[in-house]
Structure 1
Amino acid sequence: MISTLLASNPALVRVLVVVGVLVCAAVGLMLYRAGRTRALSVLAIVGLVGVLALTLSPSDGPRYAFCTVQFSIPFAGIDTLANLVMTLPLALFSALRFGSRLRAFAVFAAVSGLAALIELTQALIPAIGRSCDTDDWFMNTIGAAVGVAFAMAIMTAGRSRVGGPSRQADTRPSRS
């Protein structure tokens, strides 16, 4: 029923994706500013478990022993948005957990590598009924990039708000 509703309402899917991304970013911002690294770790692990469960659990799909190799820009369709959003929370919360720009780039590389490994696993183990597609990896990588970009913006905003000097001018009269 839910899949039928989503398939028949692509605009609703887009709205839900945007709301989900913004909720993840807001939660990440609050936890980062509060210094809640354990909560960020838990959310990153939940994101990892979700990615693995969605991509490696057996399905009733056709069993292909190869990978569809295509390098298109598939920015249409529910599956495209799902692939983009799937890795975003993992990348966002992991990058915030490690808390530095250099480590954020490492998180991006790791999540993109994980997506490639998942596609390879889907190609090599046809018994799980998953199809390997380079466009899935591409959209997972874009999702990781968006997650890391949000994390870097949050880290920048968190530093300027918490540790930096006030941006307001000092209006106290001077003692001369």
Structure 2
Amino acid sequence: MITNFLLDHSALVPVAILLVALVCAALGYLFADRRRILWTLTGVSLVPVFALTLVPTVHTIDEVVCTAQFFLPTLGSVELLANIALFLPPVYFAALASRRPLTMLAAGSALSAVIEALQAFVPAIGRACDTGDWLMNTIGALLATGMAWLVGRRAQSGSSTGAISS
């Protein structure tokens, strides 16, 4: 239902990503010194990642299908931009909670690679891997890392307890 709405209104996708980023930034700033809440937000934001990438579809794939392609998204490219937005919240909250943004960038990219590998080698879930998805997920993780660094610096200047080390 959400996918159909976004496909029908593709101009709203960049706005949706901006809203996701703003909500994440606000929550991260509010809870910068509450690591338990940040880890909880990380876990909650991983639910859509797994639901949208690993929950079996009604179709099964009889062979390993993986598309190797690398490209940057355009503003009208719903699926590509959605992949960026998908990894932004969990990597952002994990970077703030762990205070290790570069480690969480690597973890987000690795998680995306594992998901794509599972899609390729587990035909029962009915999904095909795509290197473009991995790239867009990694770009989302990179944006999240930058946001976490900025919010961590802002929180650090506001109080001495909400710091992220660089």
Counterpart among 77, 89, 109 of residue 112 in structure 1: 109
Q: What SS does the corresponding residue of 2:72 show, helix, strand or coil?
A: coil
Structure 1 segments of 4+ aligned residues over 4 angstroms from their partners: none
Q: What SS does the corresponding residue of 1:70 show, helix, strand or coil?
A: coil
Pairs within 5 Å for 1:85-124:
85-99=85-99, 103-124=100-121
- Which ranges in structure 2 are unaligned for 5 or more consecutive residues? 161-166
1:157 aligns with 2:151: no
Structure having the higher Rg = 1
- Which ranges in structure 1 are unaligned for 5 or more consecutive residues? 164-176
2:65 alignment partner in structure 1: 66
C-alpha displacement of 1:3: 3.7
1:77 alignment partner in structure 2: 77
The Cα offsets for residues 15-42 of structure 1, whole Å up to 9 and x where unpaired, read as 122112111111111110xx21111010
Counterpart among 117, 140, 144 of residue 143 in structure 1: 140
C-alpha displacement of 1:62: 5.8
2:49 alignment partner in structure 1: 51
* Number of residue pairs the alignment of both structures matches: 159
CA separation of 1:77 and 1:62: change in aligned 2, threshold 3 A:
farther
Percent of paired sites with the same residue: 42
Distance 2:144 2:120 in 1: 26
**Would the aligned equivalents of 1:119 and 1:133 in 2 still touch at CA under 8 Å?**
yes
Q: What SS does the corresponding residue of 1:130 show, helix, strand or coil?
A: coil
The TM-score normalised by the length of structure 2 is 0.89
CA separation of 1:3 and 1:113: change in aligned 2, threshold 3 A:
closer
